[in-house]
Structure 1
Amino acid sequence: MTLEPPLRKNRERSDHGIDSGGGEPSGGLRAWLVWGTAATVYLLAMFHRNGMSAAALHAQERFDIGPALLSTLPMVQLVIYVLLQIPSGLLADRLGPRRSLLISLGVMAAGTVLFAVAPDAPTAIAGRILIGAGDSLVFLNTIRLAALWFPRRHYSLVSALTGLAGGLGQLVSAAPLSALLTAFGWEVSFLSAGAVNLVVGALVLLVIRDRPDGRRAQTHALLSMRESLAEALSHRGPRVGMAAHAVIMVPFTVLGVLWGYPLLEEGYGLSSHTTGVLLTGAMLLPMSLVPFLGRIPGHYPRARKPMGLGLAWTVTLVWLGVVLWPGGLPPLPVIAGVILVSAFASVLAPSISFDYARDGLPEQRTGAASGLVNMSGFTSVMLGVVGAGIVLDLGLSFQAAFVPMTLLCLVASTAMTLLLRNRRSRAAKK
C-alpha cells in the first residue's frame, strides 16, 4: 500500500517561498534567488575542477612533467573530493548549506592562490588538494538548498539546472581560460580566479539562508556516519542513483577534468582555439534543452527509468564505438558527435541520479545518500583520468587510453539495469 502525500488545497503560498501550511516548501522568487547564488558557487567550483584540461599543456611546461605526473594534478583533487563526499554530506545535514558554502569558498580560494604561485609540482599538488577539499562541499549543498526551498516535484528540474550551472563552469574553464592563460600567463590567471571566490563569498553571506523561514537547516535526529550510510544503502533509490552517476556524467567529465584538450590537440592536431570552440560548442545544445528535459523525472515519474537507462547505455555504446574503431581513432566528425552525446548526458545526469538518491529518505537525511551518489560518479571519473594517463605513459594511443573509462561505464550501466530489473521481478512475484 502506497502512502500518498497530504493534500495541499489549503496551502497558502508566498512568492518568497515560505510555506505557511507546514508542508513542503512552495518555491517562489526568493527560492530561485537563493538557489541561483548557490549555483554560482557551483559554477565557480566547476571552473576550478575542470581548469586543468585547458591548463594541461601549460602545466606540463611550467612544472616539466610527463603525462602520468600531469594526471596526478587533477587526480589528487578528485581523490580528496571523493573521500570527502560522505563527510560533506553529513556536514550538509549538520552545519547547513550557508556555512558549508562559505567554508568551501575559503578553502578553494586558498588552494587556487597556492596553485597560482607554485614553483614546482609538489606545491601545485598541495594547491589542488585544497581545491578538491573545498569543492567537495559545493554540489551537495547546492542541491540541499533545492530540497529545502522547492517542492519535491521541482527537485529534478532544479538539480538539472544545477548541472547546467556546472556546465557553464566547464565552458568558462575551456576556451576563456585558455585565452586568459595565453594572454596573461599562469599566475595572473589563477590569482584572479582565487579573488573571484572572495567576491562570491560576500554574495553568499548576503543572500543565502538555509530555510525559507530563516532557521538554520538541521536534522531532527542526528545519525552517526555508519547509521547514515546504512540507512541510505538500505533503499534501492540511492543504489540506482550511484550506478547512474557512475556512467552518465563520467566521459565528458573525464574530458573536462584533463583529457579533452590533449585528445583533440595531440590526437587530432587541432589548435588550442579550435579545441576550445569544439568543447564549448558541445555544451551549448544540451544546456539549452535542460529547462525542458530536466523537469521530466519530477513531473512524469514513470519516464525516469527509460530516460536514465537510455542515457547510460547510449553513452556506453558510443564510447565502445570509439575504443573499438578499426585502425585507430575515428574521424573527427565522429568523435565530435561522441563528445556532444557525452556532454548531453553529463548535463542531465543530476536530474536522474540525485532524484533517485532521495527515494525513501526523509528530507532531513538526504546528505549521506547524495554523497554516496556523487562519490560513485567521481570515483569512476578518477579511475578514468588516471587510467588514461597510465596508458599514455606506456606509449599507447589515445584510443587505448579511454578503454578503462569505457569498461567502467559498461559495468555501471549493467548494474543500473540489474537494479531496476530486480525491482520489477520482485513486484511481479508479489
Structure 2
Amino acid sequence: MTAPPRPAQAMTIWLVGLAVYFVAVLHRSSLGVAGLLAAERFDISASQLSTFVVLQLLIYALMQVPVGLLVDRFGPRRVLLTGTLILTSAQLSFAFADSYLWALSARFFVGVGDAMTFVCVLRLVTTWFPIRRIPLMTQLTGVLGQLGAVAAAVPMTWALSTLGWTHAYIATAALGGVLLVATLVVVRDSAEARSVSGPMLGLAGIKDSLKASWEHPGTRLGFWMHFSTQFSATVLGLLWGYPFFVEGQGLSSATAGLLLTVMVLSIMAFGPTFAWLITRWPWHRSTLVLLVVASIATTWAVVLAWPGAAPLWMLVVLVVICGMGGPASMVGFDLGRTSNPVFRVSTATGIINQGGFLASLTTAALIGLLLDWRTPDGVSGYPAEAFTWAMSAQFVLWAIGATQIWRYRRKGRARLLRDDPELWSQQSGRPVPN
C-alpha cells in the first residue's frame, strides 16, 4: 500500500527544490546587469555579447527533452543533484574567466545545469501535492523562482560595483554549494523511497515516448503558449533590458535595475491569479494566453512608436505587462500535464519548456545582429534608433506563436471531444454533439 505524502514533508521538499530553481534563475540572469561590463571586460561587440545568452539558452532548450527523459528514467532527485553540481561549478568558472572563449564555455555549462532544475521541481510538485493544488504550486514554483532574477538585478548590480567581477560571481556560486547539501539531505522522490527509477527505455522506447508526447495537440498547444509569452521578459531580464533602458531610453543604472525588479515582481503578482483562472475555467486557458500575447505586443508597439524616449510611467507599464508573460507561459505546462499520462509528464514538460527558450535565444540573437547593423562605425554605445529596429524583431515571433496557439487549441479541443466527451462537455459547458 502506498503511503500518502505528508503535507509538511511535501512543503519542505518543495521549498528546497524551489531554492535550487531560485539559484538557477540567479545564475541564468546574473549576466543581465553585467552586459556592458562584460563587453568591456572581454572587448566584444553586441552580437558577441548576445552570443553568451544565445548559447546559454540554446543549450537550455536542447537539454529539455533529454532532461525530461532522464527524470522519467532516474527520478527528479538524482537529476536535480547533478544539475546543481554542474551549475555551481560553471558559475565558479565564470568568476575567473578572463577571455571570451573561457567565459563562453562557462556559460555553456551554466545552461546545462540550469536545464536540469525546473523540470525536476515540477515533477516533485506532481508527486507530492494533490491534483487540485498542482496548478497553484506550479505557478508558485515559476513566479517565486523568478525572485532569482530580482537578486540578479539590484543586489547583483551592487555586488559587481562593490566587490568586483570575480568576488561577485564567487558569492553566487557559493549559494549553489549550500543547496547541493540541502538537496542531498532533504529531497525524496516519493514517500516510500529517496530515489525512484522509472522503466529503462531503449532507443525505440525513447522514440515512442517522444512521438506520443509531441503528437498530442495538447502538448503542441502548451509548446506554442510557452513560445509566445515568455521570451520578451526573458530577453529583457537576461541581457537586453538593461542596455535598452540605459542607452535606448536614457535612464540611470539604478532606474534600469529598478524596472527589471518591477518586471519580476509583476511575474510574481500575476502567477496566483492565473493559477486560479485556469483552475476555475480550464476551457479558456488558451484564450487567457492569447490576451496576454496581444497585451504585450500592443504595449511594446506604443513604447517603440513613442517620439523620443518613452516616459518612465510608460516603461513601468511595459515591464508590468511583459511580466504577465511569465505566469502565462506556465499555463502551457498545465496543458502538458492534463494531456499526457503521468509516466510521460516530464518528457512533455521538457518539450513545452523548449518553446519559450527557443523563442528567447532567437530574439536575443536578432537583437544583437540588428543593433550591430544599425549602429554606425566608431559610435560608442547603441543609439535609440538602433534599439527601435532591434526590439521590433519580437513582433515576428508573436505573430507566429499566436497563429499556432489558435491552430492547436482547435485541434486540442477536438481531441478532447474524441477521447473524453464527458470532460469536454464539463469544461466547455455544452452538450456532447450527437
Cα deviation 1:127-147 (Å, max 9, x = unaligned): 000110111111100101111
Cα deviation 1:111-169 (Å, max 9, x = unaligned): 11111111111000000001101111111001011111112222211110011122201
Task: Give the structure 1 partner of residue 282 of structure 2.
Answer: 301
The reply on whether 1:192 has 2:171 as its aligned counterpart is yes
Task: Work out which of the residue numbers 165, 169, 174 in structure 1 matches 2:153.
Answer: 174
CA pair 298-425 structure 1, distance change in 2 beyond 3 A: closer
Task: Give the structure 1 partner of residue 398 of structure 2.
Answer: 409
Greater alpha carbon shift after TM alignment, 325-334 vs 68-77: 325-334
- How is 1:237-386 mapped onto 2 (pairs within 5 angstroms)? 237-323=218-304, 325=305, 327=307, 330-350=310-330, 352-386=331-365
CA pair 161-186 structure 1, distance change in 2 beyond 3 A: same
Letter in structure 1 aligned against 2:185: L
Task: Work out which of the residue numbers 28, 36, 44 in structure 2 matches 1:57.
Answer: 36
Q: Which has the higher helix share?
A: 2
Cα deviation 1:256-295 (Å, max 9, x = unaligned): 1100100001111211111111211233244234334323
Mapped contact 1:26–1:150 kept (Cα < 8 A): yes
CA pair 19-312 structure 1, distance change in 2 beyond 3 A: farther
Cα deviation 1:371-406 (Å, max 9, x = unaligned): 111111100000000100000011251111112222
The reply on whether 1:141 has 2:123 as its aligned counterpart is no
Mapped contact 2:286–2:405 kept (Cα < 8 A): no
Greater alpha carbon shift after TM alignment, 118-127 vs 353-362: 353-362
Once the 2 structures are TM-superposed, how far is the Cα of residue 299 of structure 1 from its aligned partner?
A: 4.5
Once the 2 structures are TM-superposed, how far is the Cα of residue 35 of structure 1 from its aligned partner?
A: 1.0
Give unmatched runs, 5+ long, in structure 1: 1-17
Mapped contact 1:154–1:295 kept (Cα < 8 A): no
Task: Give the structure 2 partner of residue 229 of structure 1.
Answer: 210
Task: Give the structure 2 partner of residue 165 of structure 1.
Answer: 144
Greater alpha carbon shift after TM alignment, 125-134 vs 223-232: 223-232
Once the 2 structures are TM-superposed, how far is the Cα of residue 424 of structure 1 from its aligned partner?
A: 5.0
The reply on whether 1:398 has 2:387 as its aligned counterpart is yes
CA pair 364-424 structure 1, distance change in 2 beyond 3 A: closer
Mapped to 2, the partners of 1:217 and 1:406 lie a distance apart of 44
Mapped contact 2:32–2:153 kept (Cα < 8 A): yes
Task: Give the structure 1 partner of residue 63 of structure 2.
Answer: 84
Structure 1 length as normaliser, TM-score?
A: 0.89
Once the 2 structures are TM-superposed, how far is the Cα of residue 423 of structure 1 from its aligned partner?
A: 4.5
Give unmatched runs, 5+ long, in structure 2: 376-385, 418-431
Once the 2 structures are TM-superposed, how far is the Cα of residue 429 of structure 1 from its aligned partner?
A: 7.8
- How is 1:125-136 mapped onto 2 (pairs within 5 angstroms)? 125-136=104-115
CA pair 285-361 structure 1, distance change in 2 beyond 3 A: closer
Letter in structure 1 aligned against 2:141: T
Mapped to 2, the partners of 1:32 and 1:214 lie a distance apart of 17
Mapped to 2, the partners of 1:425 and 1:299 lie a distance apart of 21
Q: Alpha carbon RMSD of aligned pairs, Å? A: 2.1
CA pair 429-68 structure 1, distance change in 2 beyond 3 A: farther
Mapped to 2, the partners of 1:274 and 1:73 lie a distance apart of 24
Mapped contact 2:64–2:353 kept (Cα < 8 A): yes
Structure 2 length as normaliser, TM-score?
A: 0.88
Once the 2 structures are TM-superposed, how far is the Cα of residue 77 of structure 1 from its aligned partner?
A: 0.9
Mapped to 2, the partners of 1:120 and 1:216 lie a distance apart of 40
Once the 2 structures are TM-superposed, how far is the Cα of residue 40 of structure 1 from its aligned partner?
A: 0.6
Mapped contact 1:155–1:298 kept (Cα < 8 A): no
Letter in structure 2 aligned against 1:249: Q
Letter in structure 2 aligned against 1:398: F
Mapped to 2, the partners of 1:342 and 1:290 lie a distance apart of 13
Task: Give the structure 1 partner of residue 423 of structure 2.
Answer: none
Letter in structure 2 aligned against 1:134: G
Letter in structure 1 aligned against 2:181: A
User: Counterpart of 1:366 in 2: which secondary structure?
Assistant: helix
